[in-house]
């Protein structure tokens, strides 16, 4: 009945589509009319070929982005006299007729970017005449670039109110001819594309001096820049160069007119000739000299950004040398590649940090550079260099306050935010500890992927007020093991992604999270965690949001029950198959305790949708606990192994679960099979019968049952082993299984293809294997993938895919057997391999492989 209804509605849809297409074709009405909300009309991407004339006349905002309106005819908007905002970007405009904007006296915002307009057409000269109230105009990224000789723009001088203009920089003559001098309210100009190759003293001569912001984006190769280019812009406060294809030293010449003046922001991002080499560009290496920085150093700058400029090194008195250091509030030098603390730089950096009395934000992220410091002085500059290493060291000791192998660094007193993410430098080649002093204002610290020769001991001397710490990518053992850490003690938000916490929790157990007593938001995703000790969170009473995505949890850890303030739990992308009654009750109570709020993230888990788990599915749709997926649509595996969704299962609940318990025939089959195996195997052992035949019979018989289960395996056996048992695996184990027993084997070095995600490849191979053998040797525990493979195997075993997990130990001490196995000891078969290769071991393995499931 339902199916018929569906078909019927499908047909109705088809008819509707058919009519629709015809109507569009004949341009009678539009199927997809504009959406009008209040006085805002949204006609974005409606396939319109002309300005609609049926909208309410009082609309003030009209969005026509991404349509196909090639020509704006005269009086196109005469109906909409109240329009304040009009967007015509990406509509394929080629021509605007002279009176197209007639009557738009109230328009304040017009954007025409990314079109193909021929603005040099003489009939367009007066198109802007009616727009007397316009404040913002965007005519940038216009693809129709005329020959330089004929470049012209309509007259801009009519728009006396204009304060923000975005355009392409085609020719300096435009400023002279098109009335730019009359734009007395113009504050900001954005050159979204620059096509000229020279910037001269005359280029901006005709721009108004009211300009406060100039932005250059995406320039063609600029080969020459004269120092007085920006001289006419006496009120400039913001200068931004972004993807500016020019030598850095040329671009820095632009700053000459601002010596001894104040500027709020100077940004030079991707200023490098390398950036015009197309998408795969390599910035050319720049060594900053004092000469290059001579103008920049003399400006009082609030915010300085020098990002991705290809800087690889600097000379004395350049990057760390300013005349007005007290002006800085923010310095961003990320994505370059220069060293900051060897030779003279240490002293300069130190001197500068003392003078940055107003600095609030410092960012030196993505500075990938690894070198071994020689601690020798390479530059000879009178007051900041030291001729011998010995003297140097002494001066350094005084400056850096090196006592007892600890460097005490004083942060600028007002510093609130410090980012040293992806900072890869070996600073000093010994065991110095870095200790940060004077940090009482520091609130935000990002040290993700900080690769130093060792992580600095972030022992803040007095006390810390840091609220946010990002330690992504740093080995968690380094900070968990420290006793006293004010930095982590005060933190409210702590990000510990990819910090190998799985291993750390194993080692430090319940004390792992004691270092962060005041945390409210904790991110421990991507850490291969499958287990958290029961009292692990006893010190984290304030925790309200816990992010545990991309781990290996098969259940919601019971240790969370001590977190009474928890209201948001992210369990996405784990291995949850169900949530049992205990945890469901806790979730319900938690919701009540927190005024009816509790959000649980479950996407990326595959739940079990069989008779055993029907009560969980029912709970999911009855509870008031909120889920990340509002429709509660999660993947779920039916008992015949088909993947379905929880929503479908819930809708068909009674059909699916009505015959729970009537699956006895399968049981009978399994019992028979067990009896068969139990009978045949001992017989076979006793007379050392031909294993292949036994296995063949066994397999054929088994496929009868398995056909019903629709299981396909590529491999019979997946073998996990460490390097030190590699020879035995390759020379004895694999040949025996493959050649003598004729079973397909998957071994990592041979069968798992390089490329892609290795974890994913392992997961797929294991899913496609009938059995898993772990060959445990002394090196096994230290292998990168050991924990992952064990967890995967356990998961496959529990989902019923895997038949046997067999562990072969080869002269291994008990300490080197991964403890992970302990948690499912009863599900594995354990073979202690005899010292000499005897038949005894092989027989045991045969039995183990061919035995029926427990």
Ligand X SMILES: *[C@@H]1O[C@H](CO)[C@@H](O)[C@H](O)[C@H]1NC(C)=O
Q: Give me the residues that bind ligand X (CB under 6 A), please.
A: 201, 226-228, 259-260, 403-404, 421, 430-431, 448-449, 470, 472, 489-490, 495, 517-518, 555-556, 558, 580, 582-583, 638, 640, 642, 656, 710
Rounded Cα–Cα distance for residues 67 and 43 (Å): 8
Rounded Cα–Cα distance for residues 90 and 344 (Å): 53
- The vertex-825 CA angle with 820 and 828, nearest 5°, equals 105
Q: Choose between 121 and 525: whose C-beta lies nearer to ligand X.
A: 525
> What are the phi and psi torsion angles at 705 (to 5°)?
-70, -40
Relative orientation angle of helices 839-850 and 691-709, to the nearest 10 degrees: 20
Helices and strands (H and E) in the chain: how many: 20, 41
Q: Closest distance between ligand X and the C-beta of residue 14, in Å?
A: 26
Q: Closest distance between ligand X and the C-beta of residue 128, in Å?
A: 32
Q: Closest distance between ligand X and the C-beta of residue 202, in Å?
A: 8
Measured CA to CA in angstroms, residue 10 lies from 16, 24, 32 at distances of: 10, 21, 19
Burial class (CB in 10 A: 0-12, 13-18, 19+), 398: exposed
CB neighbourhood size of 170 (10 A): 21
Q: Closest distance between ligand X and the C-beta of residue 490, in Å?
A: 4
Q: Choose between 144 and 397: whose C-beta lies nearer to ligand X.
A: 397
Contacts of residue 600, Cβ cutoff 8 Å, sequence gap at least 6: 569, 571, 587, 625, 626, 627, 628
User: Could you tell me where the beta strands, DSSP code E, fall in 39-114?
Assistant: 40-42, 61-63, 71-72, 85-87, 95-96, 109-111
Strands 606-609 and 635-638, sheet pairing: parallel
Rounded Cα–Cα distance for residues 464 and 448 (Å): 19
Q: Choose between 519 and 775: whose C-beta lies nearer to ligand X.
A: 519
Token pair belonging to 413: 């007193």
Rounded Cα–Cα distance for residues 301 and 252 (Å): 14
Q: Closest distance between ligand X and the C-beta of residue 279, in Å?
A: 23
CA neighbor of 346 nearest in space, from 372, 377, 310: 377
Q: Choose between 259 and 313: whose C-beta lies nearer to ligand X.
A: 259
Q: Choose between 382 and 430: whose C-beta lies nearer to ligand X.
A: 430
Q: What is the dihedral of CA 606, 607, 609, 612, to 10 degrees?
A: 140
Q: Check if the beta carbon of residue 597 is closer than 8 Å to that of residue 567.
A: yes
Q: Choose between 118 and 226: whose C-beta lies nearer to ligand X.
A: 226
Token pair belonging to 717: 């056996």
Q: Choose between 382 and 404: whose C-beta lies nearer to ligand X.
A: 404
> What are the phi and psi torsion angles at 269 (to 5°)?
-110, 130
Relative orientation angle of helices 614-622 and 581-593, to the nearest 10 degrees: 10
Q: Closest distance between ligand X and the C-beta of residue 153, in Å?
A: 25
Q: Choose between 547 and 684: whose C-beta lies nearer to ligand X.
A: 547
Q: Closest distance between ligand X and the C-beta of residue 742, in Å?
A: 29
Q: Choose between 30 and 435: whose C-beta lies nearer to ligand X.
A: 435
Q: Closest distance between ligand X and the C-beta of residue 113, in Å?
A: 31
Q: Closest distance between ligand X and the C-beta of residue 2, in Å?
A: 14
Q: Closest distance between ligand X and the C-beta of residue 365, in Å?
A: 7
CB neighbourhood size of 689 (10 A): 13
Q: Choose between 110 and 583: whose C-beta lies nearer to ligand X.
A: 583
Q: Choose between 32 and 580: whose C-beta lies nearer to ligand X.
A: 580
Q: Closest distance between ligand X and the C-beta of residue 403, in Å?
A: 4
On the CB side of 230, CA atoms within 13 Å amount to 23
Q: Closest distance between ligand X and the C-beta of residue 405, in Å?
A: 7
Q: Closest distance between ligand X and the C-beta of residue 778, in Å?
A: 25
Cα dihedral sign, 59-62-67-72:
positive
Q: Closest distance between ligand X and the C-beta of residue 555, in Å?
A: 3
Q: Choose between 402 and 734: whose C-beta lies nearer to ligand X.
A: 402
Q: Choose between 430 and 813: whose C-beta lies nearer to ligand X.
A: 430
Rounded Cα–Cα distance for residues 221 and 272 (Å): 9
Rounded Cα–Cα distance for residues 231 and 172 (Å): 15
Q: Closest distance between ligand X and the C-beta of residue 253, in Å?
A: 9
Q: Check if the beta carbon of residue 763 is closer than 8 Å to that of residue 801.
A: no
Q: Choose between 103 and 669: whose C-beta lies nearer to ligand X.
A: 669
> What are the phi and psi torsion angles at 159 (to 5°)?
-90, 75
Q: Choose between 350 and 495: whose C-beta lies nearer to ligand X.
A: 495
Rounded Cα–Cα distance for residues 428 and 339 (Å): 11
Q: Closest distance between ligand X and the C-beta of residue 542, in Å?
A: 8
Rounded Cα–Cα distance for residues 366 and 308 (Å): 9
Q: Check if the beta carbon of residue 410 is closer than 8 Å to that of residue 439.
A: no
Q: Choose between 554 and 567: whose C-beta lies nearer to ligand X.
A: 554
CA neighbor of 270 nearest in space, from 259, 288, 282: 282
CA neighbor of 160 nearest in space, from 186, 190, 178, 137: 186
């Amino acid at each position: 009945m339902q199916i018929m209804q569906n078909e019927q509605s499908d047909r109705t849809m088809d008819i509707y589509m058919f009519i629709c297409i015809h109507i569009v074709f004949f341009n009678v009405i539009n199927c997809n009319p504009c959406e009008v909300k209040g006085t805002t009309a949204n006609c974005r991407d409606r396939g319109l070929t002309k300005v609609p004339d049926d909208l309410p006349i009082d609309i003030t905002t009209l969005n026509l982005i991404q349509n196909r309106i090639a020509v704006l005819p005269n009086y196109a908007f005469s109906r909409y006299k109240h329009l304040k905002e009009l967007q015509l970007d990406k509509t394929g405009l080629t021509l605007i007729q002279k009176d197209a904007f007639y009557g738009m006296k109230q328009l304040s915002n017009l954007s025409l970017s990314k079109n193909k307009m021929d603005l040099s057409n003489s009939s367009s000269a007066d198109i802007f005449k009616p727009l007397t109230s316009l404040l913002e105009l965007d005519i940038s990224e216009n693809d129709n670039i005329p020959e330089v000789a004929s470049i012209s723009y309509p007259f801009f001088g009519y728009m006396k109110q204009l304060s923000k203009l975005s355009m392409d920089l085609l020719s300096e003559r435009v400023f002279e001819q098109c009335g730019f001098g009359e734009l007395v309210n113009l504050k900001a100009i954005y050159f979204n594309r620059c096509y000229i190759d020279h910037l001269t003293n005359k280029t901006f001569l005709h721009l108004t001096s009211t300009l406060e912001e100039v932005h250059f984006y995406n320039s063609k190769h600029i080969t020459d820049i004269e120092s007085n280019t920006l001289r006419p812009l006496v009120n400039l406060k913001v200068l931004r160069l972004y993807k500016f294809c020019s030598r850095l030293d040329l671009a820095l010449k632009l700053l000459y007119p601002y010596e001894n003046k104040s500027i709020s922001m100077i940004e030079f991002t991707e200023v490098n000739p390398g950036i015009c080499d197309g998408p795969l560009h390599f910035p050319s290496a720049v060594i900053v000299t004092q000469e290059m920085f001579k103008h920049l150093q003399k400006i009082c700058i609030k915010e300085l950004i020098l990002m991705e400029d290809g800087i690889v090194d600097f000379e004395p008195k350049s990057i760390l040398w300013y005349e007005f250091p007290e002006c800085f509030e923010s310095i961003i030098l990320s994505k370059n590649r220069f060293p900051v603390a060897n030779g003279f730089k240490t002293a300069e950096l130190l001197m500068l940090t003392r003078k940055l009395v107003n600095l609030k934000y410092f960012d030196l992220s993505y500075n990938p550079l690894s070198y071994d410091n020689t601690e020798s002085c390479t530059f000879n500059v009178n007051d900041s260099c030291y001729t011998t290493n010995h003297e140097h060291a002494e001066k350094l000791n005084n400056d850096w306050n090196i006592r007892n192998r600890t460097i005490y660094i004083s942060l600028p007193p007002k510093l609130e935010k410090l980012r040293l993410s992806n900072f890869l430098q070996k600073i000093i080649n010994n065991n110095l500890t870095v200790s940060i002093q004077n940090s009482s204002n520091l609130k935000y610290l990002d040290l993700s992927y900080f690769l130093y020769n060792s992580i600095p001991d972030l022992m803040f001397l007095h006390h810390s007020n840091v609220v946010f710490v990002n330690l992504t990518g740093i080995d968690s053992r380094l900070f968990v093991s420290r006793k006293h850490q004010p930095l982590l003690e005060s933190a409210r938000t702590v990000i510990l992604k990819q910090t190998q916490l799985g291993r750390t929790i194993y080692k430090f157990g319940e004390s792992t999270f004691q270092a962060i007593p005041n945390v409210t938001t904790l991110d421990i995703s991507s850490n291969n965690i499958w287990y958290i000790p029961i009292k692990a969170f006893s010190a984290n009473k304030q925790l309200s949001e816990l992010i545990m995505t991309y781990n290996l949890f098969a259940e919601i850890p019971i240790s969370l029950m001590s977190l009474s303030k928890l209201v948001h739990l992210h369990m996405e992308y784990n291995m949850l198959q169900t949530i049992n009654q205990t945890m469901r009750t806790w979730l319900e109570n938690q919701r009540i305790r927190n005024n009816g709020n509790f959000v649980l993230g479950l996407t990326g888990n595959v739940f079990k949708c069989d008779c055993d788990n029907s009560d969980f599915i029912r709970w999911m749709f009855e509870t008031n606990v909120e889920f990340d997926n509002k429709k509660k649509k999660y993947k779920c595996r039916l008992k015949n192994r088909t993947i379905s969704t929880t929503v479908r299962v819930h809708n068909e609940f009674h059909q699916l679960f009505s015959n729970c318990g009537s699956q006895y025939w399968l049981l009978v089959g399994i019992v028979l099979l067990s009896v068969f195996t139990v009978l045949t195997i001992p017989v076979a052992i006793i007379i050392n019968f031909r294993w292949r035949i036994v296995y063949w019979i066994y397999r054929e018989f088994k496929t009868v049952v398995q056909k019903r289960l629709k299981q396909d395996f590529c491999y019979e056996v997946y073998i996990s082993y460490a390097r030190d048992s590699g020879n035995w695996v390759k020379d004895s184990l694999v040949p025996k299984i493959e050649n003598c027993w004729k079973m397909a084997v998957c071994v990592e070095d041979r069968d798992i293809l390089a490329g892609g995600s290795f974890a994913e490849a392992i997961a797929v191979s294991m899913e496609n294997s009938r059995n898993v053998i772990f060959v445990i040797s002394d090196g096994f525990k230290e292998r990168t993938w050991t924990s992952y493979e064990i967890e995967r195997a356990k998961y496959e075993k529990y989902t019923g895919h895997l038949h046997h997990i067999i562990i072969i130990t080869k002269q291994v001490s008990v300490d080197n057997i991964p403890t992970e196995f302990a948690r499912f000891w009863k599900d594995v078969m354990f073979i202690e391999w005899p010292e000499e290769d005897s038949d005894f071991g092989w027989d045991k393995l045969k039995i183990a492989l061919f035995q029926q499931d427990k």
